[in-house]
A and B are shown apart, each in its own frame.
Chain A
Amino acid sequence: MSDKQPVISIRNVTKRFGNMVAVDNVSIDILEGEFFVLLGPSGCGKTTLLRMIAGFELPSEGQILIGGQDMAGVAPNRRPVNMVFQSYAVFPHMTVADNVAYGLKIAGIEKSEIRHRVNEALELVSLGGLGTRMPDQLSGGQRQRVALARGLVMRPKVLLLDEPLSALDAKLRAQMQFELAELQDNVGITFVTVTHDQDEALSMACRIAVMNKGDVAQMAVPADLYEHPANRFVADFIGSVNIFEGKLTLDEPERAEVNCPGLGRVYLNHGVTGAHETTVWVAIRPEKITMTAPGKAKAKDSPAGTNIAHGQIKGMSYLGDITLYDVRLETGESLRVSRPNLSRWDQEDFQWDDKVSLHWHPSSPIVLLS
């Protein structure tokens, strides 16, 4: 990916609405052909950033370059990007084909060429043959495809998608996640998507920028965000996690130790960059904790007897593929553990108020400095 040129360069962009800072000195390079996702909770500034790329908002400070060209003073209708709106914004008084053809008509393209490209775009989003329908005769998923085709038919440098799947039901959303990723792969256009849904982001993105309060908290590929979050916000926002505050008591190149009042001593098989006795946070994903009956731990779960905790099951929620357990530790803290139901009777292994032992590998805890 390093040989590709950035198609969008966001340079030190700040956006203020009155006293409120919506986007705070953000710099992002989005590469050619990338599926880039801006992920964050509502109000984190991700949509504002997207709207600044489209030209509907102007940055208070900083610069946005598209294809190497400064976009300052370039109106939305002159930018080489197209947008798929959260509400789809399909024109209700035009047929599907007229909707898709709208941008081309405005651009003054020849009629036969328009017809050809519209059909092509409709085929691309599997709406072939529905060109004469009115939008109110379409389902939500189909309307979204119209919005997609309407943008793609313009062959933009970048397609911007604002919460593209949020209005669809869960099953359709999962299906569209795959379709969008595949579509992006086929057309080779750079996609920039805004979403608050981490599953959506993880499943579709090449790279994700996690935003928090106008800042980019971390920018990384999906697996890195999950396995190597940069801070507590990212660790907590992406997936589910147990976080404990502690003091770094040992830090060597091959091992480290954190003393957490709420969890006990946590051993790691790698070094941490941090001063001795500094406050750090240990994050452990629920699925990386092994739960056994007390004293039944297998050797591989806890090499040399390290990383062990004891507690009592105080909550269970059966989700079909996994069961989530809420374990009250001896320190009084709670720890969330998930356990895959590998056989059809696994969920019966543990019951409420069972005493259990918990183990995790010294590579599993993530040490966060902020």
Chain B
Amino acid sequence: MTLFKRTPIAPLDYTRRLWMRAWVGATLFFLYAPLLVLIAFSFNDSSRNIVWRGFTFKYYGKVFENDALVTALGNSLTIAFLATLFSIVLGTLAAVLLWRFRFPLKAGLEGVMSLPIVVPEICMGVAMLVFFARLDWPSDLPWPLNLSAITIAHITFCFPFVTMVVRARLAGFNKEQEEAAKDLGASDWQAFRDVLLPHMKPGIIAGALLAFTLSLDDFVITFFTSGPNTITFPVKVYSMVRFSVTPEVNAASALLIFLTILLTTVALKLQDFSKATA
């Protein structure tokens, strides 16, 4: 009897409605099916990526034998790391500036700051290309200095995201905490280090995560600012795809997905940790 006896569906019990479940399922399918297919076919034992011919790891091996691809991956990771580092510092400082002080043209500065977020990437890319050409930015520097142009371009569009996230976090800060620190003898810097910075930490980590993933998979802006010796991973994958979509491309893409998931997990774990001790 109890088998069929279910509690009736309450008015706000949307998760138990069939149409809602179907809709959620369709959305998830639409979002993730292509990725799953891509990952699945990276294990396909066939040089052409159409029919399933059996399971193999050999294309992952091939990815690591492909020096150009490995170099590109190294470049991408280096750029992402540097861009994230600078974005954290710049973005956090900008967030504190906009949060703490009142000054003329503050609204203007805020608008300009978020410009890199809204400007179409293609425009940013062209602008960067013109900018570096005009400066006659040297392109034949030794590694990793040859990545400087791309890194600078990446910082430009990454740090506003950090600012956005950190500022949102700062909005919930109780200024009495900072006053309490000063009241107990802390200098401006000590109060910043001991009270404000720990409060911003989850925001900074989230911002860093955003910056890293944005930088890692950026194609358009990188495409315009990279030279022949500074190919990044997405640009390299694109050039490989132009010949044919081999399982090697799938494997490389799958690797990028795994890498992103791994980093995201680590960063979220770190954030959880900082929340648990907050």
Contacts and interface: CB of A to CB of B under 8 A. Distances in A.
Interface of A: 54, 56, 75-78, 81-83, 85-87, 89, 91-93, 102-103, 106-107, 134, 136, 147, 150-151, 154
B272 interface: no
Contacts of B185: 77-78, 103, 106-107, 154
Interface stretch (B39-47, B100-108, B146-154, B192-200): B192-200
A90 to B, nearest CB: 8
B187 to A, nearest CB: 6
Interface string B151-185: 00000000000000000000000101101111111
Nearest to A82: B183
Interface centre among B182, B186, B274 (most CB of A within 10 A): B182
A150 B186 CA distance: 13
Contacts of B190: 106
Given A76-B179, A92-B278, A93-B198, A82 B184 contact: yes
Contact of B194 (A56, A78, A92, A102): A102
Given A102-B194, A136-B278, A89 B184 contact: no
A89 B180 contact: yes
B277 interface: yes
Dominant SS among interface residues on chain B: helix
A89 B174 contact: yes
Contacts of A89: 174, 176-177, 179-180
Nearest to B277: A93
A76 B182 CA distance: 6
A99 to B, nearest CB: 9
Interface in B174-222: 174, 176-177, 179-187, 190, 194-195, 198-199
B183 A77 contact: yes
Contact of A103 (B184, B195, B198, B274): B184
Given A82-B183, A93-B199, 20 more contacts: A54-B179, A75-B182, A77-B185, A82-B184, A83-B180, A83-B183, A89-B176, A89-B180, A91-B180, A91-B194, A92-B199, A93-B198, A93-B274, A93-B277, A102-B184, A106-B184, A107-B185, A150-B180, A154-B184, A154-B185
Nearest to A75: B182
A76 B183 contact: yes
11 contacts: A77-B184, A81-B183, A82-B183, A89-B180, A91-B195, A93-B198, A93-B274, A102-B184, A102-B186, A103-B185, A151-B183
A54 B179 CA distance: 10
Interface residues of B, number: 20
Contacts of B278: 92-93, 136
B176 A150 contact: no
A89 B180 CA distance: 6
Contacts of B181: 91, 102
A87 B183 contact: no
Interface string B262-278: 00000000000010011
Contacts of B195: 91
B102 to A, nearest CB: 14
B186 A87 contact: no
Contacts of B187: 77
Contacts of B194: 91, 102
A151 B181 CA distance: 11
Nearest to B180: A89
Nearest to A98: B194
A102 to B, nearest CB: 5
A207 to B, nearest CB: 24
A87 B172 CA distance: 13
Nearest to A51: B179
Contacts of A54: 179, 183
* 9 residue pairs, one from A and one from B, having the closest CB atoms: A103-B184, A89-B180, A89-B176, A85-B176, A93-B198, A106-B185, A89-B177, A77-B182, A83-B183
Contacts of A91: 177, 180-181, 194-195, 198
A150 B277 contact: no
Nearest to A153: B184
A148 B183 CA distance: 13
Contacts of A92: 199, 278
A56 B198 CA distance: 23
A103 B182 CA distance: 9
A269 to B, nearest CB: 51
Contacts of B179: 54, 56, 76, 83, 85, 89
Contacts of B277: 93, 134
